[in-house]
Chains A and B, each alone.
Chain A
Amino acid sequence: MPIGLHERYSHELRGGLNLPNTIYQHQYDNGLTLLAEPMDWLESAAFTMMVSAGCRYDPLELPGLANFSCEMIQRGAGSRSSRQFVEDLELLGVDHSASVSNAHASYGGAMLADNLVESLRIFADLFLCPLLPAEQLEEGRLVCLQELWSVDDDLAQQVMNNIRLCLYPDPLGRSIHGSEASLRTISSEDIGEFFRSTYVPAGATLSVAGRFEWSQLRDVVGELFAGWERRDLPSIVESDEPARSCHTNHDSSQTHIVVAYPSVPYSDPDFFQARGAVGVLSDGMSSRLFTEVREKRGLCYTVFARTHSLRDRGAVVSYAGTSTERAQETMDVLVAELLRLADGIEQSELDRLKARIKSGLIMQQESCRARSAAIAVDWYHLDRVQTLDELGRIIDELSCESINKYLAEHPPGNFATATLGQQELEVPIGIS
């Protein structure tokens, strides 16, 4: 039975906004953490199980193993075949999904609140007793190959995959799909071994948001996952720093341009200063990139910048897609806007950004799915969860002075670039 930490965060309600301020958390003996945010005004609930089984744990010679394993894990568990697993979830009206990232494998579901416990019962088997059916290995292999081939046709995703390779050392820059040669050699034993070593409760988080009864949820989860054996996660070894730029030739209509620079991670006390600066660049239709690149010059349809964070390091990644003959001009304008950030932001820009973020925080209360994913991400980066109320305070406290001080100390620079298109672009002065 579960024993251990049971804590409830609580803050004074903020004047005016009244954002939710309760998070339950519980850590079980085997290391599994349960996080839960009550949203009693909803009829629904959602959960996210996040395990440290992302592609950074792929053995060097077997890229794609984490994704292949995730595919096989969903092919039946406990007493349920692959088909029974999906059909039982459908009868409960569970909208479910699974995905792999560099760090994690995530399994989630959203449903009417009354079906939460029953859905968790079905999902728990995936982590404790997946069938990993050898007779379906070839089908699973084909699924992964199809996904890999499809990335060849998704140019924007390719260029985003490439920028991660330019920003982070291996295995932190890897993408999940692996290589055809590797996917063709992965065996049932490889998958079984990957499952045993990475699908462990240490570092695993089950987050729930929506309508639930906390003590019942805590006890049921404890009972369901009691047999999940405690084991340590494998460690990873980082390679040397990667090359900072890459170009892929492609006979495409548009050139896809990504420019990125190192920034602070989510866990850094200055993260929201960096996030504020990126908001001025890219949040909303009055943001700098939208105004300068699209509205004034008509250079592209899509342009944006966003923060990207690992646990111990981060980056700002910007993207624009434009036709070949205007690609160089687009790159130049994009970089000029990134560099101009160092001169600081204006009060009116910050006011608009705060209005947008606050309204976004309030609207997060309308979706248990968004909250269950967000609290899992918080836990991973911070070892704690920020309530919406706490986030509201952080945003309130941002000022032009604080952001400009941060920008003066951390001017955008040391750029990495990834491009894809008919012609390689000249990297503007100041980029190395």
Chain B
Amino acid sequence: MEFREYRLDNGLEIVAECNPLAQSASFAFFVKTGARDETTELSGVSHFLEHMVFKGTPSRSAADVNRELDEMGSDANAYTSEESTVYYSTVLPEYQGPTVELLSDIMRPSLRDDDFATEKKVIIEEIYKYEDQPPFGAHEKCMAAYFGQHPLARNILGSVESVNALTPESMRSYFECRYSPGNIVLAAAGRVDFAELVKTVEQSCGHWERCETPRVTPATSGQSSFQVLHKENATQEYAVQIAAGPAANDADRIAARVMATIVGDDSGSRMFWDLIETGCAEYAGMGTYEFQGTGIFMTYLCCGPEQLQTNLERLVSLQRDVEQDGVTEDELARAKSKICSHIVLGSERPSNRMFSVGSNWIQRGQYYTVKDIVEQYRAITRQDVAAILERYPLTVNTTLAVGPLTDVSAPV
């Protein structure tokens, strides 16, 4: 296992964890752009562009791109988040060259007008699909309520209206500003031939021209509020709650994740025993989301409408307990064991390692081995967890409920 890095003259970075014993190799372009880099007029453009990237280049049609990816037997896809757009492909090692060449080529897409018109329909269907799915937009609406005027308030998909209003020209100029080589990292893991990788990328991407890609990362002053949105044809009630948490480059994010596991993991956490195991809720859980310059704890609750009020009260009481008394040594030991085992098991797939290496690089400019990561978690103490709860109280939060209810009181 060896970590390698390389930087092209135009600023594009390559990072790789090379494991000669792996069965596969995984590659991804991480573009540091997402919903937070959009304006109101451009809402949804990052995600729409992610789809358009697969629609062909001057030398390939959309059908060529799809066909070639399948011919290599690749497991390829892409996703868009608040702050990055990621294009990935996992293949058998012998396909390294053609896969990287193809991924590089599509990163300079043609963005043709007729493809744009057809794909817009697909994007709108994707928006409708999520409209029909629990938690019926509660996640995005709670983000908007919590972040207020901050760029992280933006919805990744945009709305039917904003997507309809997008034009090929506006997408092209967004692309020109954001897909600069200095704003892109190619991450790789598994059985990677690094020298060959650098050669392919130099050849395919070396001529890309660089431009400035500014991003504003203002501090947040998270809003505290309580809202209920009525959705008549829902059966269950869904609530999302956001509280402040550490940012992607804060050292205390590790302790925050341990605390979130103890309080809100799917199984064996305080929320599990109080809310799920008792049948009070179908689901209750909490996780961390880290961004540049800020972070959040997000709690998600799903239950019968008549149980929501008491469940919100249960949540407050659970949050107060942990803020006042902290966590026990036993809880801490179990959480660490669970997290570390999960990390080691996950690391057996090169694709998981690739996402870990890529995310750590774009968020922190750091490489961590699996052992480094496990040690970071093992080192967390009860005092670290207590410090997190003092700095980021869970009881100060924005809550938003969606479902058949029209009237819910903020718990006291």
Tell me the A residues contacting B by CB distance below 8 Å: 41-44, 82-83, 86-87, 90-96, 110-112, 138-147, 149-150, 152-156, 250-254, 283-287, 290-291, 294-302, 321-323, 351-353, 355-360, 362-363, 365-368
Q: How far is the CA of A295 from the CA of B121 in the complex (A)?
A: 10
Closest 7 pairs between A and B when the two form their complex, measured CB to CB: A142-B279, A93-B341, A359-B73, A298-B121, A355-B73, A146-B282, A152-B235
Q: Mind listing 20 A-B residue pairs with CB under 8 Å?
A: A44-B344, A44-B345, A93-B337, A146-B236, A146-B302, A150-B302, A156-B133, A254-B131, A291-B63, A296-B118, A299-B125, A300-B122, A301-B122, A302-B129, A321-B129, A323-B124, A352-B67, A359-B24, A362-B24, A362-B92
Contact B24 A286 (CB under 8 A): no
CB distance from A186 to the nearest CB of B (A): 14
Contact B268 A149 (CB under 8 A): no
Contact A111 B341 (CB under 8 A): yes
Apart from A149-B235, A156-B133, A301-B126, list 15 A-B contacts with CB within 8 A. A82-B277, A83-B273, A87-B268, A152-B235, A152-B236, A250-B233, A253-B128, A284-B66, A286-B66, A287-B70, A298-B125, A301-B125, A321-B132, A358-B73, A359-B73
Contact B268 A92 (CB under 8 A): no
Contact B337 A322 (CB under 8 A): no
The yes or no answer to B21 lying at the interface (CB within 8 A) is yes
A252: nearest residue on chain B (CB-CB)?
B132
Q: How far is the CA of A154 from the CA of B236 in the complex (A)?
A: 10
Q: How far is the CA of A283 from the CA of B71 in the complex (A)?
A: 12
CB distance from B330 to the nearest CB of A (A): 8
When distances are taken between beta carbons in the complex, the residues of chain B under 8 Å from A252 are 132, 233
Contact A286 B345 (CB under 8 A): no
When distances are taken between beta carbons in the complex, the residues of chain A under 8 Å from B341 are 92-95, 111-112
CB distance from A216 to the nearest CB of B (A): 21
CB distance from A387 to the nearest CB of B (A): 16
Which listed residue (B65, B133, B233, B268) contacts A86, Cβ 8 A? B268
Contact A146 B304 (CB under 8 A): yes
CB distance from A421 to the nearest CB of B (A): 9
The yes or no answer to B333 lying at the interface (CB within 8 A) is yes
Contact B73 A356 (CB under 8 A): yes
The yes or no answer to B350 lying at the interface (CB within 8 A) is yes
Which listed residue (B71, B132, B279) contacts A139, Cβ 8 A? B279
Contact A284 B344 (CB under 8 A): no
With A142-B278, A286-B63, A359-B92 in contact, is A90–B334 under 8 Å at CB?
Answer: yes
Contact A363 B75 (CB under 8 A): yes
The yes or no answer to B314 lying at the interface (CB within 8 A) is no
The yes or no answer to B234 lying at the interface (CB within 8 A) is yes
Which listed residue (A138, A146, A251) contacts B233, Cβ 8 A? A251
Contact B337 A253 (CB under 8 A): no
When distances are taken between beta carbons in the complex, the residues of chain B under 8 Å from A298 are 118-122, 125
